[in-house]
Amino acid sequence: MPQPGSATVRSRVRIPLTFPDGYRTEAEVFTFHGLADGAEHLALALGTVPEGGTPLVRLHSECLTGDVFGSDRCDCGPQLRESVELISEAGGYLLYLRQEGRGIGLYNKLDAYALQDSGLDTYDANTALGLPEDDRDYTAAAQMLGALGTTGATGIDLLSNNPDKAAQLAGLGIAVRHRVPTGVHLSASNVRYLRAKAERTGHSIELSRLVG
């Protein structure tokens, strides 16, 4: 895979964060120049990486329905909340990537939801719309990590259940030391969604937890 061109930090600003359950922390939010896809991705620096330590990094794809409105059709909102706390404790970065609906966009994602209501899983619904199962490219994420100085000998620990994220980053020159799984954030409405991720794309989710 060709190595991405360099990006640079455009700005940085501190923002206090408070979640609905009362959890509070502070993030230093970075914006960037020169990202390959031209999108307004953000990096949130959380906690402090110990001297000589490895930053914990989460690549979180934007999910308006889950992150903002608390939709139970996916696990995105709980993963975001969990990631902020884990990274704050360990020290590292949350990359908030503007890749709604695994890259197909908000309207298309909602159209796919309608097809899921008729029995298709999350991947087949995308295909039925003539769209990729997963259209995400992590070139910009690799550029962001480079601009943040995480491409040294220690590399990163990647907080993710998705093996494709680690594989793409490695192909883009980012050393992934360990892949750390997130929790299984199960609800009555997302069992089929989580099962599809485990069975279709090898996400590290314990199928025994997915009853129903």
Beta carbons of 172 and 145 less than 8 angstroms apart: no
Please give the sequence-ordered ranges of beta strands (E in DSSP) within the chain, or none if there are none.
Answer: 8-18, 24-33, 42-46, 56-61, 92-97, 156-159, 176-180
The three-state secondary structure class of 92 is strand
Annotated catalytic residue, options 67, 111, 121, 134? 134
Structure tokens at 121: 């899983």
In DSSP terms, 14 is beta-bridged to: 28
DSSP H helical segments within 13-162, as ranges?
Answer: 76-90, 106-117, 122-128, 139-147
What is the per-residue burial (b if ≥16 Cβ within 10 Å, else e) of 99-116? bbbbbbeeebbebbbebb
Beta carbons of 120 and 32 less than 8 angstroms apart: no
Annotated catalytic residue, options 136, 157, 179, 195? 136
Structure tokens at 197: 């991720």
Amino acid type, 178: H
177 among known catalytic residues = no
CA dihedral 161, 164, 170, 175 (to 10 degrees): 0
User: Would you give the distance in Å from CA 201 to the centre of its chain?
Assistant: 15
14 among known catalytic residues = no
Question: Which residues are designated catalytic?
Answer: 134, 136
